[in-house]
A and B are shown apart, each in its own frame.
Chain A
Amino acid sequence: MMKNRLMDLLKNVSAYTVICLYSIFAIFPLIWLVIISFKSDTQMYNTTFIFTPTLDNYKIVLFEGADYIQAFINNIIVSGGAVLLSLLVGVPAAYAFARYNFAKKEDLAFTILSFKFAPEILVILPLFMIYQKIGLYDTYFGLIWVYQLITLPLLIWVLRGYFEEISVEVEQAANLDGYPWYSVFWKILVPLIKPGLVASSLLAFIFAWNSFTFPLLLSGFQIETVTVAALRYIGSDTVHYGQMAVAAAVAALPEVVLALIIQKHLVRGLSFGAVKG
């Protein structure tokens, strides 16, 4: 009896220790980021936790100087646009992969998945040249298009699982009940794939939001995203770590908020579709 309780206690203690260690490991960089965003440049290198907090960095980044706000808006446009385009293309594509048999189906599905394998830096040079030639360089659409490499595979593969889980007969039954195909889609299919739709769209949005290589090389000064804009604070003489921290912290904010709101959907949405009944 005593031995059991001791064992339980030991188990609990060790479990919590591991969790605590991991939390520190995971969260500390973020805390560090937030701390330095309140430091002035002079105190950057000679203080750790004790310093005079200042909002100067926020003031400079958000209200003065470079167009950080514009970059933020640009990011919303290209990431949001990329996800919307992916939805438009990916939902029918996922449906086709789940329902129809056509030649080379699995090869095509794998090709789409493999978009995610290739390092971005590998394809960026030819893309850069093509974009220059056809005038997509430094445009919203150019970025939205290239972001499909990031967002589309995810969406298609998650939703395909969801569609496969819905039996064909359910669609056929709705059809016989007197619903035309578009009503079947909106009234029957969309509610059933919603968890997957929400989760994969959000994840795709976050990936697109964080993308750095593509916007760095495929856009110039017209369209700058937050990830690229953060580079600006590396001056020729000094690095403004404080301002850079602000830029990064603000850039991460929408993701954190979105993820918190739909945290539950995110985990269930991504795991549910993968399990075949």
Chain B
Amino acid sequence: MAKIELYNITKKFGNITALDNINFEVQDKEFFVLFGPAGAGKTTILKTIAGIEFPDKGEVRINDKNVNMVEPAKRDISMVFENYALYPHLTVYDNIASPMRSPLHKQDEETVKKEVHRVASMMKIDHLLDRLPSQVSNGQRQRTALGRCLVRDPNVFLMDEPIAHLDAKLRHFMRAELKEMQSEFDTTTIYVTHDYMEALSLGDRIAIINEGKILQIGTGDEVYLTPANEFVAKFMGEPEINIFDIELEDETQVKMLGQERSYTIEEDVAEVIKEGEHKNIRIGLRGNDIAFSFNKENEEYIKGQVYSVEPIGNKTILVVDVNGQLLRLIAPNDLQANIDDEIFVRIKMKKAMFFDGDDYKYIYRHNQNELLGVE
């Protein structure tokens, strides 16, 4: 049960700035996700909170108390490491039991046994308790590490990609399980991942990090529907969002994709663009926000060619070449299309996001406040 705060955390490794002025606050019992590409500094943030890395500047607070000078063991933090960090000479049982046998969190062996079995059955590794970590698979090691973390009732759980190495089916299962456990445990959790689906499904709030900087902190809806900049937009979602330049003709009319005719942008968007005096505008459209047809159904449809067709089970990623601009869109999985077929696409302007072409920051989208449920 704890509130975690980071103030102006800066950390350098030699000349490389791993963390650049990181600020955030995690509420008590919140499930907070740190999301970013490899090398973004996610793990360093976790280790800073745990106290095993020291910030060059800044302050870590747990429950309003500065813990910069508190050693890791005394912070009462439980962590899952990305490389599992299991004790190679101890069995799975002893690994999970380890926190409860330490001087700080001592329990009698009776309780230890009960707790280990409870956690092991939750992690579905109860048949492996006698084995050494070297004798189980990677997924099982990861679950052992997770078990060792969950067996305690600490201030905060820190989880560094705890389910990244599981196979897909188990990962989906564990994701649901983690979500449920979190509401059951009522414990603050900080969770690191590079999988946007994990981030969106688990996180109460998500912080998107790149190159040691926080780009955006918000709920899943906020970061998905109104990403702070193009990087966030591209990083969230599959297939990658389509972003390309458009030309402003006047306040509401734009030209795009080398077409003769003009397209109308929504009034509320036009207003924000005008107020912000943005000159160069880019438009962002997710795979769902472009309709397609094999016939030119009306004026709005733009002609293009099928560039590639990639069926991925329950849907198909269709890439369409429109005047040299490749557009990725989601199609039903029964789609019949051949490469270089003629195809027509329609941009759903109501769903479009708008970015500034100079600094790549997010500007606005139609009906933004209604979408996010704010006034």
Contacts and interface: CB of A to CB of B under 8 A. Distances in A.
B70 to A, nearest CB: 12
A178 B87 contact: no
B350 interface: no
Interface residues of A, number: 16
Nearest to B72: A175
Contacts of A174: 87, 98
Interface of A: 167, 169-170, 172-180, 183, 188, 191-192
Nearest to B145: A173
B73 A169 contact: no
Is the contact region of chain A dominated by helix, strand, or loop, or is it mixed?
Answer: helix
A172 B81 CA distance: 9
Interface string B74-101: 0001110101011111000000001100
A176 B78 contact: yes
Please classify how large the interface on chain B is, using the bins under 10, 10 to 19, 20 to 34, 35 or more. Answer: 20 to 34
B89 A192 contact: yes
Contacts of B47: 172
B79 A179 contact: no
Given A178-B103, A178-B104, A179-B102, A173 B85 contact: yes
A177 B99 contact: yes
Nearest to B105: A178
A167 B145 CA distance: 15
A73 B50 CA distance: 52
B337 interface: no
Nearest to B52: A172
B81 A180 contact: no
B157 to A, nearest CB: 11
A177 B50 CA distance: 11
Given A172-B52, A175-B52, A176-B79, A167 B103 contact: no
A184 B81 CA distance: 17
A179 B73 contact: yes
A192 B83 CA distance: 18
B92 to A, nearest CB: 14
B148 interface: yes
A170 B105 contact: no
Contacts of B85: 167, 169-170, 172-173
26 contacts: A169-B81, A170-B86, A170-B87, A170-B88, A172-B47, A172-B52, A173-B85, A173-B87, A175-B52, A175-B71, A175-B73, A176-B50, A176-B52, A176-B77, A177-B73, A177-B98, A177-B99, A177-B105, A177-B148, A178-B73, A178-B99, A178-B103, A178-B104, A179-B73, A179-B103, A180-B103
